[in-house]
Amino acid sequence: MPENRSPADAPVMTLAEALKALAGSVRPIADHEQVPLAHALDRILAEDVRAGHAVPPHDNAAVDGYAFAAADLVQQTDRRLKVVDRAAAGHPVVAALPPGTAVRIFTGAPMPAGLDTVAMQEDCRLEEGHVLLPAGLKAGANRRRAGEDVREGTIVLKPGRRLRAQDIGLAAALGVGSVRVFRRLRAAVFSTGDELKEPGTPLEAGEIHDANRFALMALLSGLGCTVSDLGIIADRERAIRAALAQAACDHDLIVTSGGMSVGEEDHVKAAVRELGRLAFWRLAIKPGRPIGIGAVGGVPFIGLPGNPVAMIVTFLRIARPLVLGLAGATETAPTAWRVRAGFAERKKVGRREWVRARLVAGAEGEPIAHRFPQQGSGILTSLVEADGLIELPEDLEQVSEGDRVDFYPFSAFR
């Protein structure tokens, strides 16, 4: 990747080029720690989780009913077997059973030794201590086999996985009480701009409340980072340089918004170059052309645009994979849906564009993506009212109503 180039020399990169460059250079930077399973949600696994025993650990009944040996039923012309015991989950039958007998059994109970089949209770009739079993039941019916879900010794979860509720449930089923995960990334965040004021304070002429920093801290927290809020830094290169140097002392990542363009008051680029390096900052995208990736004193740096929509969109599609990769995750790409466009639009060839859209069910129930009317980089309501982003590739010039397009629901960026 080019480093420390002036704005005039920096090449314009496509999104694919930028993501490829990041994927080839990002390595996890966080240490490991052991956490209880109850605190492992959304943490990134650092080592294999291997099955110490099979799941289920024993053959068991899949339904409430009557367990018996299928071979015994062949000998009974009237399909009647004497019920001699009872088995419930946690209360197995331990005594040896006489041949040609059945056991009342409940879902999850271990199959008694020698029995291999379960008849559902609603298909049976109990008469004077005997059960009348249905015809046509195959041997092994309604029996879950030991190891049917997981065999002993199998690696069920691999490093780099961001743990979901179902992953935690599987680990618990294996008897795992704690897992080794990557330590949370320590991210430092600040905004730049003399016009910015803290929410909750009155505005004077020419001022606005700082929305970006709070959205950015929420985005980073949602990815599992521990976030330090460094506040609003004035548009002075010395002040920005000092804030960057301070952040680099005790953080794993620095993220800023604003100051990445080419204006006289955009000092972040120069400060980063003085303290480290700036890998790239011109991307063929809309919204969000001014973005920088680099390092300050060896600490990864992400400089996002100042417009709030551009900041959020570029975080989701560009910064998010970098943050997750630094945190130890191996799966960082969101999954797109193919939906039909409910609008027509022309775009510039050679540029990747994102359109904020809502999904509405069409006449046949198929989701149709409707473009939010206002697509400006400062229209935060367009993100609030939208369900996600339509991504239009560089080689596309025209979207017609009914065309299939890639749609990224915001839930894909969890």
Q: Does position 6 have pLDDT exceeding 60, yes or no?
A: no
DSSP state of 236: -
Give the CATH number, domain containing residue 64: 2.170.190.11
**pLDDT computed for residue 17 by the predictor:** 85
The dihedral region occupied by 365, where left means phi > 0, alpha psi between -120 and 50, and beta the remainder, is: left
**pLDDT computed for residue 2 by the predictor:** 44
Which of 123, 144, 165 corresponds to the end of one domain? Answer: 144
**pLDDT computed for residue 378 by the predictor:** 85
**pLDDT computed for residue 10 by the predictor:** 61
**Tens digit of pLDDT for each residue in 342-379?**
999 999 999 999 999 999 998 888 999 999 999 888 89
Whole-number Å distance between alpha carbons of 120 and 289: 64
3-state SS, residue 21: helix
3-state SS, residue 37: helix
**pLDDT computed for residue 8 by the predictor:** 47
**pLDDT computed for residue 76 by the predictor:** 73
CB 315 within 8 A of CB 40: no
Assigned token pair, 325: 């990769």
Q: Does position 4 have pLDDT exceeding 70, yes or no?
A: no
User: What proportion of the chain, given as a percentage, has pLDDT over 90?
Assistant: 77
- Residue 370 and residue 263 in one domain: no
- Angle among Cα 131, 132, 138 to the nearest 5 degrees reads 105
Mean pLDDT along residues 131-158: 95
- Residue 195 and residue 323 in one domain: yes
Q: Does position 387 have pLDDT exceeding 90, yes or no?
A: yes
Which of 327, 359, 380 corresponds to the end of one domain? Answer: 327
**Tens digit of pLDDT for each residue in 189-225?**
999 888 999 999 999 999 999 999 999 999 999 999 9
Assigned token pair, 320: 């998010």
Whole-number Å distance between alpha carbons of 278 and 124: 75
Sign of the dihedral defined by the CA atoms of residues 224, 226, 231, 232, in that order: negative
User: What proportion of the chain, given as a percentage, has pLDDT over 70?
Assistant: 95
Give the ranges where 174-319 is alpha helix by DSSP (H). 212-222, 237-249, 268-275, 308-314
- Residue 292 and residue 200 in one domain: yes
CB 307 within 8 A of CB 195: no
- Whether 1 maps to a domain, the answer reads no
Range of the domain at 161: 34-55+151-182
**pLDDT computed for residue 291 by the predictor:** 82
Whole-number Å distance between alpha carbons of 96 and 112: 8
- The count of domains in the chain is 4
Mean pLDDT along residues 20-27: 79
Q: What is the mean pLDDT of the chain?
A: 91
Whole-number Å distance between alpha carbons of 148 and 168: 19
**Tens digit of pLDDT for each residue in 224-239?**
999 999 999 988 889 9
Assigned token pair, 36: 């209880």
Give the CATH number, domain containing residue 313: 3.40.980.10
- Whether 377 maps to a domain, the answer reads yes
Least reliable range by pLDDT among 28-32, 91-95, 175-179, 265-269: 265-269
- Residue 234 and residue 203 in one domain: yes
**pLDDT computed for residue 288 by the predictor:** 84
Q: Rounded to two decimals, what is the model's pTM? A: 0.87
